[in-house]
Amino acid sequence: MVLRSPRLAVAGFDPEVVGAVVGGLAGYLARWDIQVHVYAATAEAADRLRGGDPGRGIAGALADLAGQPWRAVTNWAAAANGGDLTVLALTASPDLGGLSADELDVVRATETPVVLAVSPAERAAVDPGTFEFVGFLVADHGSLAFEPVDTAPVPTDELAGDGLGPEAVTRAGALLVLAHRAPDLEPVAEAAENPDPGVERLRPLHPGGTRPAGRTLMISGTHSSAGKTFLVTAFARYFADRGLTVAPFKGQNMSNNARVVDGGEIGVAQYIQALAARQVPDVRMNPVLIKPQDRRSHVLVLGRYDAALSALPWRLRKPPSWPAVSRALRDLRDEYDLVVMEGAGSPAEPGQYHNDIVNMRVAREVGAPVLLATDGARGGGIAHCYGTWQILPAEDRALLQGFIINRFFAKGNPVMLRPGRNQLERLTALPTLGVIPEVPYTLPEEDSYSLVHRTSGTGLKVAVVAYPSMSNFDEFTPLTTSGAAEVTWARQPADLSDVDLLILPGAKDVPASARWLDETGLDRAIRAYARSGKRLLAICGGLQLVGETFTDAAEVEGTGQGLGVLALNTVYEADKIQRHGRFTFGRLDGPWQGLSEYTVDGYEIRHGRTDSISEREIVEGGVGFVRHNVLAVYFHGLFENANALEAILGVRLDPRQELEHTFDALADTLATHLDMAAIERIVFG
């Protein structure tokens, strides 16, 4: 099986220029661990590209790329299916009116976009329609600029560099977008011309810079769920209590739990961390947010949906995303006394190390000291710490300043860890800065895999339908932590039995959620529950699901049928609503009368616009509808309002105050269990 890959063709009149441009692109992407397979369309074209001198042409340009493969194409499947990116290197001839017939056959068969590398004079003389090109790479006095023709929907300033060698391609976003314009091809059974290239992995670039204006600290983990988010939140409150202005930062987050801030959306973790730091959340605190969908994902850059990046395969997204991450980090560092950065997964994972914009590349960018956390309850934490330290390259290892053993058994004796800590310190010459026990806290969860099936509580029995694309479920934290409700994350019809309140939460992929409800039989169970007269609350994507239809001409979600519980029709639009608001319920009777005429704070994140066929609009502006026991609203955050929580649960609880208590407790935990004097010396010298 050969997997399809994005593809791009680079053509030119001079084989040496073509080779230099292709070499520059391949060299740049190799630093991100992105494999580029380079092909010539025919054996004759390969000979022209090689040139008479072994040091000229494409062979010379690729000589320093550690064995970057290239070969002549003998079948179209090889050209269509290479590494992470397939590049066709072509030679154009004015005498032929463009490409040769054989080269055009390959281009057309693989539906590959072609860019032409030319001088300014050649650019003026070329008719792009004749040559079938979508853009020009214009080489002028040692610099390279990209100019799309009218049919290429990419910005003109995405590619620039000094010289035509591997360093020429310093921003490759435009070319990567062009490469993904080619339609997806079906996988082929075999392709003899596509052997494993065995490309040596090159080191990433290590940009220099001046001394940071503000200080920085990175919290990395030996693995996922080591407690990085918890620690960054705690450090944010601790240092804010010390009188510093503190900003959290995570270069890239992947979560369907997002919050609205000025400028768009960020992951809920960075939103909460900003509150812990007593700062206004900012899109720069999470410059890249990936929101998974069924077999694809939406990418948000600085809070806004980026269709071009979303269309790229995940590995090719990193180079064009990095400038936004770097700028956001440097801006925050210049504005705040301290930026506390959160890593993701492991900073040393070999398969992801070079193609990473959230771990050590971020730390290197600002010379940040790194503290490595491990989960002490899992066992093997000492070995995890040593293994991570050992695998990291020397320049990254130099940034690592100490270890934190997190989540050690609350009833365990930390003295048990002394032999392992002593050996770790002998092997690495780095201190273990403390052991944090398991502590109860009520921060919103970010990942659905962290949810237990049922949380204990007395009083109300609540079921939240946990479809795989469930989003913004962090808003139910007051329900799960209040002790005043037993909350079940419902994944089968039996979970809806003997329930007092059923909630259909937000969904990142409503059509996929509708299919999942049908496959599990929950669709029939939900309809039956709605007929029972007991309270049913639908939020955002849940509102769309309880309606009749959802139609998607904008191709952002999909078209499908809802549950038909309410007479509502939804249309998805390309423009996304991202806003805070105050929402006032109209006069309510029956099961929801406790919310009658209440005003609550909330936020909207949606592409959908919904019209009522016959339902009563209970919140003005198409934001809320009701039919007796079924209440559907577009805004999130209902349970984060004390008055609404009291009306629904029957208990008085202020979620905002509880969150503040949690932040303070986390800061106290650091002061009690970590050597904060040593950590302050690490950060501030």
Which positions are annotated as active-site residues?
Answer: 540, 636
Distance CA 571, CA 559 (A): 9
Where helices occur in 185-227 by DSSP H, the ranges are: none
657 Cβ neighbours under 8 A, 6+ residues apart? none
Q: Where are the beta strands (DSSP E) in 343-459?
A: 370-375, 400-408, 432-437, 454-455
Rounded to the nearest 10°, the torsion over CA 191, 60, 356, 264 is -90
Residue 627: which H helix or E strand, with range? strand 624-627
Distance CA 372, CA 222 (A): 7
Cα separation of the two ends of the chain: 55
Reported as half-sphere exposure (CB side, CA atoms, 13 A), residue 422 has a value of: 6
Distance CA 653, CA 457 (A): 15
The CB-based long-range contact list for 581-590 (8 Å cut-off, 24+ gap) reads: 581/623, 581/635, 583/619, 583/623, 583/624, 583/633, 583/635, 584/619, 584/620, 585/618, 585/619, 585/624, 586/617, 586/618, 586/619, 586/620, 588/618, 588/626, 590/628, 590/629
- Number of continuous H segments (helices) and E segments (strands) in the chain: 23, 34
Read off the tokens for 351.
Answer: 């398969």
Distance CA 541, CA 291 (A): 14
DSSP 480: H
Considering only CA atoms, which of 134, 150, 129, 126 is closest in space to residue 182? 134
Residue 485: which H helix or E strand, with range? strand 485-490
DSSP 596: T
Distance CA 292, CA 258 (A): 12
Where helices occur in 51-134 by DSSP H, the ranges are: 57-61, 76-80, 101-110, 120-125, 128-131
